[in-house]
Each structure stands twice: as structure tokens, then as C-alpha cells.
């Protein structure tokens, strides 16, 4: 299949007049799958009501089919089409964080979406992305759009159209290139079907931000203890992994530099994931400067590009600094731990 590629400037007012977006919307209505930018990562969109479209998403990604997809909407009114009951906490969260990087899990109204979208669960995850291109595309189709991250299953999520191309060229109908995404990690997934909301996946909206508007919010125990079974099916898979083994190092810069030298003496090519503050300290074969430690948002926005860059550099082993578990640092550490298969050197 030849994958169409459209470049769209997200800053122009009249996006709906862009023939590129009209063509992309048209393909979505015909149950084809199209990648598009959101404020978190690029999504691989398909009509959430169509078995055919959702099958194409799973096939293109090589994704296990027991893993449900997030449904993207442009207008809050669409919610009641496939959700029975909207609890008060969910309403407050939508009010504060939509459009934005927050996916809300609600009780699903059976028969209203493809069963492949929900993977047969009694709940459904819904979000309204905060990106002009995504919103415009969703509005033009008028459909609920299922969209997982637009990477091959197991690979780091794409934060640039080029990443999508690397993974999915020839496997999908089209890619809308709207430039780099902003937040850089996926949406926070919060279960609102329980009395107290539970975070199933940390992401762009922090626990602290959620608690500021709805009071107590819990963390799925599986996020802290690897032995627990996660409530979010996607959280159990190995994810985001670069080709070379990745180790997180809970230690000083001197200790990291010592590790680099040991591996180099064994003849290995060593990659290091660091930050602006520490970059001048290391002598590695490939150094990726991933934002500023003093501003974790900048780390989040380049973490996936960092993981992908080591594949291109063809290093044999990667060491990464670790980050504090506060604010968006939670999401950063969650993704790094998964990418490392939980390998941590203390
Ligand atoms: O930022 C994002 O959320 C991006 C952009 C494209 O919107 N999408 C994304 O989708 O990250 P995906 O499919 O890569 O991740 C969806 C996560 C998975 O961990 C999945 O298991 C979980 O959400 N999920 C979806 N529906 C669920 C449900 N009903 N119950 C529990 N977890 C659910
Ligand atoms: Mg994903």
C-alpha cells in the first residue's frame, strides 16, 4: 500500500479548508487508517465503530488484540452516544482538562462501538485531544476515532511524523504531518468508574493536577508493584524499547561515567541519555541530551525521540539517568522503566 503524506501547518485558522485534511477525513470515513498529530504523541486513527477499520489498526501496529483503544472525540456531546452514565468526578475532570492529555475510563454502552475497540470490556476510555489538526480531523469525520499511538507495537511512541513513517510507511493509508507534538508522553488514563478515581497510566496530566480539582486520586497498585496485574491491559506489555539494552542508573555522574568506561574497554559502543545540566560530564559514544532536569516537561517532550535516536546510532548498550517521581516525572519514569524492562543499577 502506498502511504499518502500530507503536511499541514497547525497554526492556520481555517484548517477545514485544507484539501489535505479533507482527504484524510474522507479516508477515515471509508474505514481506512490515518496517522495524525495530537498534543501528546501521534495517533493511528480509525473509525471506532467499524470492525474493519479497527482490525486495520491492530494489523498495522502488530498489536495484541486484548488491548483496548482510546476513543477520541471532538465534542463532549458525543460522549452519551457510547457511555451510559457520567459520574460527577468525570464531569469535573472533563471541565478542567479537556481538550487535553487526559483519558477518562467510563462505563460502556454496549453495542455502540466495534467490540474490537473496547476489546470486549465493559468500560471505554475516551479523550478529547488538544491539537487543532486532531480536533479538525475529528470534527470533519463526525466519528468517534479509535487511536493508539502510531508506532509498531513495542517501539517508542512517535512524537514526529518521521517516527510514524519509520514504523508504518506502506502499512497505512496516510500520515498527516503537523510537526512535532508538544507534551511528548501519552495521556494520563484515569478510571472514573470507581468512587475514588484511579490512575491506570501516568501521563501528561499529573496526579497533583488531578487532585487539585477532585480531591483524592489513587494510583493503580500495578504501577508501584510489578507483581500486581495492571487494570489497563496495555500496561503489561514490554514497551517503548530501543534495540540495545537500556539500563537506568540510580547513581552519581561519576558512577555512570565509570560504567561507560568499563563497557568501552569491553569494546562496546555506549549510548547515554542525559540532560542539559549534565551533558558535559560524560564521554560516551553517543550522548542524547533530553531536555532540562530543572524543567521535567522538556524531558517528557523529547524522551521518545531520545529512545529512537539510539537505534539510529546503533549503540550496543544504553545508560540513562533517572528522574524524580514528581509531576510529569512520574510518566517519564514509568516509560523509562518499561523501555528498560525494569533494569535498574543502584
Ligand atoms: O496520548 C494518548 O493517549 C495517545 C494519543 C494518540 O491519543 N494514545 C495512546 O493510545 O496512548 P494507546 O492505545 O497506545 O494506549 C492506550 C492505553 C493502553 O494502556 C490501554 O490498555 C488503556 O489505554 N485503555 C484503553 N481502554 C481502556 C479501558 N477500557 N480500561 C483500561 N485501560 C484502557
Ligand atoms: Mg502506545
| pLDDT at residue 137, as a whole number | 96
pLDDT tier, 44 (very low <50, low <70, confident <90, very high otherwise): very high
User: 167-178 pLDDT, tens per residue?
Assistant: 999 999 999 999
Do 239 and 228 touch, CB atoms closer than 8 A? Answer: no
Rounded-to-integer distance, Cα 91 and Cα 216, Å = 16
Say if residue 196 is in the same domain as residue 285: no
C-alpha to C-alpha distance for 284 and 261, rounded to whole angstroms = 8
Which set of grid coordinates corresponds to residue 17? 479548508
Q: Which three cell numbers stand for residue 197?
A: 478515581
Which numbered ligand comes closest to the C-alpha of 203? 1
Question: Is residue 260 a contact partner of residue 282, using CB atoms and an 8 Å limit?
Answer: yes
Ligand 1 atom having least distance to the Cα of 40: 1
In a domain, 193, yes or no: yes
Asked, for residue 118, whether it belongs to a domain, the answer is yes
Task: Record the cell numbers describing residue 116, joined without a space.
Answer: 474490537
pLDDT tens per residue, range 86-142: 999 999 999 999 999 999 999 999 999 999 999 999 999 999 999 999 999 999 999
- 21 and 159 co-located in one domain: yes
Mean pLDDT of 154-159: 94
The pLDDT assigned to 235 comes to: 63
Kindly give the distance from the C-alpha atom of residue 125 to the centroid of ligand 1, in angstroms, as a whole number.
7
Torsion, CA 91, CA 96, CA 100, CA 105, rounded to 10: -30
Q: Are residues 261 and 197 in the same domain?
A: no
Instruction: Please indicate, yes or no, whether residues 51 and 107 belong to a single structural domain of this protein.
Output: yes
For position 327, which CATH number holds?
Answer: 3.40.50.11030
Instruction: For residue 235, give the nearest of 207, 199, 288 by alpha carbon.
Output: 199
Instruction: Confirm whether 238 is domain-assigned.
Output: no
The pLDDT value given to residue 129: 98
Q: Is the pLDDT of residue 11 over 90?
A: no
**Is 274 contained in some domain?**
yes
CB 288 within 8 A of CB 319: no
If you write DSSP's letter for every residue of 29-90 in order, what string do you get? HTT--EEE--SSS-EEEEETT-HHHHHHHHHHHT--TTS--EEE-SSGGGHHHHBS---HHH
Backbone angles phi, psi at 284, to 5 degrees: -115, 175
CB atoms near residue 218 (< 10 Å): 14
Query: Residue range 215-238: average pLDDT?
Result: 80
Q: Are residues 130 and 55 in the same domain?
A: yes
Expressed as residue numbers, the domain containing 320 is: 246-345
Residues 23 and 167 in one domain: yes
Q: Is the pLDDT of residue 230 over 80?
A: no
Does 44 map to a domain? yes
Kindly state whether residues 213 and 98 are assigned to the same domain.
yes
CA of 149 to the centre of ligand 2 (A): 4
Ligand that lies nearest to the alpha carbon of residue 64, given by its number in the listed order? 1
Please indicate, yes or no, whether residues 254 and 211 belong to a single structural domain of this protein: no
**Mean confidence (pLDDT) of the chain:** 95
* CATH classification of the domain holding 144: 3.90.870.10
Whether residue 240 is contained in a domain is answered as no
User: Are 36 and 69 contained in the same domain?
Assistant: yes
**Spacing, Cα 68 to ligand 1 middle (Å):** 7
> pLDDT exceeding 70 applies to what percent of the chain?
98
- Say whether pLDDT at 279 is over 80: yes
Looking at the structure of the chain, the number of domains it has is 2
Domain shared by 319 and 181, yes or no: no
> Do residues 170 and 252 share a domain?
no
Output the CA 261–ligand 1 centroid distance in Å: 40
Residue 10 lies in a domain: yes
199 in the same domain as 257: no
What grid cell was written down for 106?
Answer: 467510563
- The pLDDT tens digits of the residues spanning 287-312 come to 999 999 999 999 999 999 999 999 99
Q: How far is CA 249 from the centre of its chain?
A: 24
Q: For residue range 322-345, list pLDDT tens digits in order.
A: 999 999 999 999 999 999 999 999
Pocket around ligand 1: residues whose beta carbon is below 6 Å from it? 38, 40-41, 43, 67-70, 101, 103, 105, 121, 123-125, 129, 147-149, 186-187, 189, 200-201, 231-235
Cα(148) to centroid of ligand 2, in Å? 6
Q: Rounded to 5 degrees, what are φ and ψ at 199?
A: -80, 120
In a domain, 234, yes or no: no
pLDDT (mean) for 65-82? 94
Confidence of residue 64 (pLDDT cuts 50, 70, 90): confident
pLDDT score recorded for residue 15? 79
Confirm if 322 and 252 have CB atoms less than 8 A apart: no
In angstroms, the Cα distances linking 165 to 5, 6, 44, 177 are 9, 12, 12, 10
Quick one: pLDDT at residue 227?
A: 73
Considering every ligand atom shown, identify the ligand nearest to the alpha carbon of residue 187 and give its number: 1
Amino acid at each position: 500500500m502506498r502511504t499518502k503524506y500530507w503536511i499541514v501547518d497547525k497554526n492556520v485558522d481555517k484548517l477545514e479548508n485544507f484539501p489535505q485534511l479533507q482527504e484524510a477525513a474522507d479516508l477515515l470515513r471509508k474505514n481506512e487508517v490515518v496517522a495524525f498529530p495530537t498534543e501528546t504523541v501521534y495517533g493511528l486513527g480509525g473509525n471506532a465503530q467499524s470492525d474493519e477499520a479497527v482490525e486495520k489498526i491492530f494489523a498495522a501496529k502488530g498489536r495484541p488484540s486484548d488491548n483496548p483503544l482510546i476513543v477520541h472525540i471532538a465534542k463532549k456531546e458525543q460522549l452519551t452516544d457510547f457511555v451510559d452514565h457520567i459520574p460527577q468526578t468525570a464531569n469535573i475532570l472533563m471541565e478542567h482538562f479537556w481538550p487535553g492529555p487526559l483519558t477518562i475510563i467510563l462505563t460502556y454502552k454496549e453495542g455502540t462501538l466495534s467490540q474490537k475497540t473496547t476489546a470486549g470490556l465493559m468500560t471505554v476510555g475516551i479523550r478529547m485531544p488538544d491539537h487543532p489538526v486532531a480536533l479538525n480531523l475529528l470534527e470533519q469525520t463526525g466519528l468517534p476515532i479509535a487511536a493508539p499511538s502510531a508506532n509498531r507495537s513495542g517501539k517508542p511512541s512517535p512524537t514526529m511524523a518521521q517516527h510514524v513513517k519509520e514504523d508504518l510507511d506502506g502499512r497505512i493509508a496516510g500520515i498527516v504531518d503537523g510537526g512535532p507534538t508538544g507534551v511528548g508522553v501519552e495521556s494520563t488514563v484515569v478510571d472514573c468508574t470507581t468512587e475514588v478515581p484511579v490512575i491506570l497510566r501516568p501521563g501528561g496530566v499529573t496526579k497533583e493536577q488531578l487532585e487539585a480539582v477532585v480531591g483524592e486520586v489513587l494510583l493503580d497498585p500495578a504501577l508501584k508493584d510489578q507483581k500486581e496485574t495492571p487494570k489497563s491491559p496495555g500496561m503489561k506489555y514490554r514497551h517503548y524499547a530501543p534495540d540495545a539494552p537500556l539500563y537506568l542508573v540510580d547513581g552519581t555522574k561519576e558512577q555512570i561515567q565509570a560504567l561507560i568506561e568499563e563497557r568501552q574497554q569491553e569494546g562496546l559502543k555506549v549510548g547515554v541519555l542525559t540532560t542539559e545540566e549534565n551533558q558535559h560530564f560524560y564521554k560516551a559514544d553517543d550522548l542524547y541530551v533530553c531536555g532540562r532536569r530543572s524543567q521535567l516537561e522538556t524531558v517528557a517532550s523529547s524522551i521518545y525521540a531520545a529512545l529512537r535516536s539510539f537505534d539510529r546510532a546503533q549503540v550496543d548498550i544504553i545508560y540513562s539517568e533517572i528522574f524524580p517521581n514528581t509531576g510529569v516525572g512520574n510518566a517519564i519514569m514509568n516509560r523509562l522503566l518499561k523501555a528498560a524492562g525494569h533494569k535498574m543499577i543502584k
